[in-house]
Amino acid sequence: MRKISRSSHLAFSECMRKGYWGYCWNGTGLADVKKATPLLIGLAVHKGMELLLTGVTDDTALMDGIEAEWLEHDGELKEFKDQQNLALAKALVLGWKRCRLEEFLNKFDVLSVEKEIETQLAPNIILQARADCVTRNRWDGTVWVWNWKTSSSISDWNDQWTYDIQAMTEALAVQESLGEYVQGCVFEGFYKGGSYGGVSTSALVTGYTDGQQWQVGGKSRGSDWRKVSTWLEFPGGTPQWLDLIGPSTCDSYVRSAPILKDDDQVRDWLRQVIRKETDIEMMLQEEIPEDDRLVFFSKNPGRRCKWCQFGPACWSGLDVAELPLEPRRDHHAGPVPEP
Ligand code: SF4
């Protein structure tokens, strides 16, 4: 029986070798010891949204919960950039609360938040999914799956998600679990901004001051004005800063149009998934020699190799067992038990 997830299938779709080493090798697959910063920010924002939508609305409690999540995932806070990224994750959630929570709860009933689901795709394949949030529209009763996406690029936001068939597969899993029709998905974007000289460009954590007055972004208005990290220097920190900048906070959020689930497309895609995952399962049988596996789990070289953790094994002749990686923890299965 193979258990697959949206991320494992995505890895196999990008590069079979990456999928094999990342999700199957030696029983668990291999993952980075320290999570990449974008992933840490994403995990922290997801935790904040989970808290918020399950009733934790106090700013301090939210920030504490987000920080605890960051530290649990090996996030470090030694350097300024790490502290700034954590501050950004906190500000993104607190800002969403100020800009969108009320409107969201007026329009939708929350049916579930970060709920684990398992759906049997075929006798030998189970899809594990965790929908960020499932809601029912209070006016027409339709059910939608929400995806929180932290991003440095929010241009053409609808186009980024229109063909995200894997998200639709999760919507299908929710549909089976709920026992009622799921209309489709909505993608809520949390804009992280960029970085200039090591300082975030997000108005949620960076502003300008002349020592008396404070302003959002833009150029400083004379030599007395300087750029500041508001999460560090603004009196009262991020909560007070967001209250001061008011509507400017809301520029950091973008919502896709509702994207309908096309059941024929999803079914067609699932047939492909089942075929591919069945072949993968066959190649993972004990009796298959590793050399044969490596032929089947072929490399798919490209620009992606530049950022791939398996690059040294693919291109510099290192043994994959010697890479500075650790056995993958299955986040669908909860914490890894102590040995
Ligand atoms: S380095 Fe490239 S070819 Fe090798 S596993 Fe990664 S993506 Fe695939």
Atom number in ligand 1 closest to CA 302: 2
Look-up of token digits 């290192």: 318
Does ligand 1 lie within 6 Å of residue 300's CB atom?
yes
What is the whole-number distance in angstroms between the Cα of residue 213 and the centre of ligand 1? 51
Ligand 1 atom showing the smallest separation from residue 304 Cα: 7
Q: What's the pLDDT at 243?
A: 95
CA of 323 to the centre of ligand 1 (A): 14
92 lines ligand 1 (CB under 6 A): no
Q: Are 114 and 50 in contact (CB under 8 A)?
A: yes
Q: Is 304 in the pocket of ligand 1 (CB under 6 A)?
A: yes
What would the two tokens of residue 8 be?
């494992």
The CB of 314 under 6 Å from ligand 1? The reply is yes
Q: Is 16 a pocket residue for ligand 1 (Cβ < 6 Å)?
A: no
Taking the CA of residue 301 as reference, the ligand 1 atom at the shortest distance is: 3
Angstrom distance (rounded) from CA 164 to CA 133? 17
Regarding the beta carbon of 298 and ligand 1, being less than 6 Å apart is answered no
CA of 317 to the centre of ligand 1 (A): 13
End-to-end CA distance of the chain: 25
Position in ligand 1 atom list of the atom nearest CA 18: 5
Q: Say yes or no: CB of residue 305 within 6 Å of ligand 1.
A: yes
Confirm or reject: Cβ of 57 under 6 Å from ligand 1: no
The reply to whether ligand 1 has any atom less than 6 angstroms from the CB of 172 is: no
Q: Please tell me the distance from the alpha carbon of residue 18 to that of residue 29, in angstroms, as a whole number.
A: 10
Q: Are the C-beta atoms of residues 44 and 86 closer than 8 Å to each other?
A: yes
64 alpha carbon – ligand 1 mean position (Å): 38
Per-residue pLDDT in tens (0 to 9) along the chain, 339 residues: 888 988 898 899 999 999 999 999 999 999 998 888 999 999 999 999 999 999 999 999 999 999 999 999 866 788 999 999 999 999 999 999 999 999 999 999 999 999 999 888 888 889 888 999 999 999 999 999 999 999 999 888 988 888 887 788 888 889 989 999 999 999 999 999 999 999 999 999 999 998 888 988 766 556 688 899 999 999 999 999 999 998 889 999 999 999 999 888 888 888 999 999 999 999 999 999 999 999 999 999 999 999 999 999 999 999 999 999 999 987 665 433 332
Closest CA to 203 of 234, 165, 230: 230
Could you tell me if the CB of 149 is within 6 A of ligand 1? no
Residues 6+ apart with CB under 8 A from 127: 3, 4, 5, 118, 119, 120, 121, 169, 173
Which one of 10, 14, 15, 23 would you pick to mutate in the ligand 1 pocket, going by the greatest count of ligand atoms within 8 A of its CB? 15
CA distance 51 to 56: 5
Q: How far apart are the CA of 276 and the centre of ligand 1, in A?
A: 19
Which residues in the chain belong to E strands, given as ranges? 2-5, 30-32, 108-122, 125-137, 143-151, 182-191, 195-196, 199-200, 206-209, 214-216, 226-229, 253-255, 259-260, 325-327
Q: Is 37 in the pocket of ligand 1 (CB under 6 A)?
A: no
What is the CA angle 143-176-120, rounded to 5? 150
φ/ψ of residue 166, rounded to 5 = -65, -35
pLDDT for 219 equals 63
Task: Give the domain ranges of the chain.
Answer: 196-242
Three-state secondary structure call for residue 3: strand
- Residue 215: strand pairing partners: 208
| CA 75 to ligand 1 centroid distance, Å | 25
The residues pairing with 108 across neighbouring beta strands, listed in sequence order, are 137
How remote is the CA of residue 198 from the centroid of ligand 1, in Å? 30
Residue whose CA is closest, atom 4 of ligand 1?
A: 314
d(CA 128, CA 174): 11
